[in-house]
């Protein structure tokens, strides 16, 4: 667990680099069961092939977050994006990662990127 604010920001930057700059083709394609998504905590991004980051979130269980539906998929459909142009980028995190830490990491990443499908971007404390 990061000991101070600068370590937390460094961890958030590392996660952001993974979910934003990994080649699009490496991301997970959409499917009905999301069996290729791990059942563990993590930070994730919904990415478009050319428009980049659409949504960033955090969850205690990546697979259940997607198999239960996700508003970003509905919004992508409403924006008439083709499903082959949407991928999920994942950064699984250790099980011991605290929910408060996940929330803070997500907030730092959201402030840095301001994805269009995230309705609220938390202010910096």
pLDDT at 51 over 90: yes
Tokens linked to 18: 């993974």
Query: Within a domain: residue 121?
Result: no
Closest among 24, 31, 35, 92 to 64, alpha carbons compared: 35
How many domains are there within the chain? 1
pLDDT at 115 over 90: yes
Query: Within a domain: residue 20?
Result: yes
Query: Within a domain: residue 124?
Result: no
Query: Within a domain: residue 64?
Result: yes
Query: Within a domain: residue 66?
Result: yes
pLDDT at 8 over 90: no
Query: Within a domain: residue 120?
Result: no
Query: Within a domain: residue 118?
Result: no
- What is the reported pLDDT for 63? 93
Tokens linked to 38: 């791990």
Distance of alpha carbon 109 from alpha carbon 90, whole angstroms:
14
Q: How confident is the model at residue 125 (pLDDT cuts 50, 70, 90)?
A: low
- pTM value is 0.87
Q: Residue 66 is part of a domain; what is its CATH number? A: 3.40.1440.10
Query: Within a domain: residue 122?
Result: no
* Structural domain range at position 47: 5-113
Digit-coded pLDDT (tens) for 13-43 = 999 999 988 899 999 998 888 989 999 999 9
Contact (Cβ atoms closer than 8 angstroms) between residue 56 and residue 116: no
Digit-coded pLDDT (tens) for 65-106 = 998 888 898 889 889 999 999 999 999 988 777 888 888 889
């Amino acid at each position: 667990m990061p000991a101070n604010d600068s370590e937390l920001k460094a961890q958030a930057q590392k996660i952001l680099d993974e979910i934003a700059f990994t080649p699009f083709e490496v991301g997970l394609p959409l499917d009905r069961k999301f069996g290729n998504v791990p059942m563990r905590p993590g930070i994730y991004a919904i990415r478009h092939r050319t428009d980049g980051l659409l949504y960033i979130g955090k969850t205690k269980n990546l697979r259940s977050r997607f198999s239960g539906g996700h508003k970003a998929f509905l919004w992508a459909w409403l924006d008439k994006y083709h499903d082959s142009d949407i991928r999920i980028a994942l950064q699984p995190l250790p099980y011991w990662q605290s929910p408060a830490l996940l929330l803070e990491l997500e907030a730092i990443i959201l402030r840095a990127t301001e994805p269009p499908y995230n309705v609220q971007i938390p202010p910096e404390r």
